[in-house]
Amino acid sequence: MIEFQHVSFAYEKERPVLRDLSFKIEKGESVGLIGANGAGKSTLMKLLLGLLQGEGRIFVDGTPVEKSSLAEVRRKLGFVLQNSDNQMFMPTVYEDMIFGPLNYGLSREEAERRVDAVLERLGLQELKHRHNHRISGGEKRMAAIATVLAMDPEVILMDEPSSALDPCNRRVVINTIRTLPQTKLIASHDLDMILDTCDRVLLMSGGVLVADGPAQTLLRDRALLEAHRMELPFRLSGC
């Protein structure tokens, strides 16, 4: 579904952010992208979304991510931003959710049906006509996920979906992620959440992919994690 072939990227020539990255994600996989701050996780996401252009080739469902194919590629990808306020730019949840579908040419009736279906699936019907600056942090995160789901993407990318949420809201978000059938790529420091939601983990450090393996094995490897400024998930740390 997603393929990176020798991808490198640098904002300034001498200081590369990503170096020769290659990996493949199959359809239906849930992949966690972990690494310390500045490891290059966000940059990787932006390259995949075509918001940045680097060296090497990136494919989404066989289509190369290039200027000419951006619309087609982006249609398949749904990106949940870390800061929901930046994601939700319309006054109400409903208008935000319908923004994407309308842009992709759905009629208002079709788009609205889709919005309603997503809201119902996530149990968020009562948020529909609420104002974005009036809903709580947890609701906002769920609404942001709903916004992306309303576009019916084939791949869902998430940047720190569990950040700044209380335990209960965090759990709601995790459970929601688990029920999503799409291919998922989730960047996070919340290794407990990754353990709950992903079957495979990519560990990045200093712009390089240092490990790629099943979540259950990789997230138990204390030496590996600590060598790259991470620590064992709380649940596996034995305390």
Partner 1 sequence: MNKMQRALRELTEMDDLAAQDSVMHRLHPTAKLLSTILYIAAVLSFGKYQLSGLAVFLLWPVLLFQLSGIPVHICFYKLRFVLPLVMAVGLFNPFFDTAPLLYLGPVPVSGGVVSMLTLMLKGLLCLMASFLLMATTGIDRLCASLRRLHVPGLLVTLLLLTYRYVGVMTEELAVMTEAYQLRAPGQKGIARAAWGSFLGQLLLRSMDRAQELYSSMLLRGYHEHFHYAPVPAFSGKDALYLLLCAAVFLLLRLVPLAQWLGGLVVR
Which one among 30, 87, 183, 197 touches partner 1, defined by CB under 8 A? 87
DSSP 8-state assignment for residue 188: -
Residue type, 179: T
- Sheet-wide strand order for 2-12: 15-25, 2-12, 55-60, 63-64
> Does residue 75 belong to the site contacting partner 1 (CB under 8 A)?
yes
Going by C-alpha positions, the residue among 18, 2, 31, 33 that lies closest to residue 159 is: 33
86 lies in the site for partner 1, by CB under 8 A: yes
Selected binder of partner 1 within 85, 120, 126, 166 (CB under 8 A) = 85
Query: Which 123-162 residues touch partner 1, going by CB under 8 A?
Result: 129, 131-134, 147, 151
Nearer to partner 1, 90 or 208 (CB): 90
Q: Which is nearer to partner 1, 5 or 82 (CB)?
A: 82
- Our finding on whether 163 is near partner 1 (CB under 8 A) is no
Please state the separation of Cα 142 from the chain's center in Å.
13
Which one of residues 20, 29, 95, 116 is an interface residue with partner 1 (CB under 8 A)? 95
Q: Which residue has the tokens 């500045």?
A: 38
CB within 8 Å of 174: residues ≥ 6 apart = 162, 193, 196, 197
When asked if residue 9 is in the footprint of partner 1 (CB under 8 A), the reply is no
Burial (0-12, 13-18, 19+ Cβ within 10 Å), 67: exposed
Which residues of this protein are in contact with partner 1, per CB under 8 A?
46, 49, 51, 71, 74-75, 77-79, 81, 83, 85-92, 95, 98-100, 102-104, 108, 129, 131-134, 147, 151
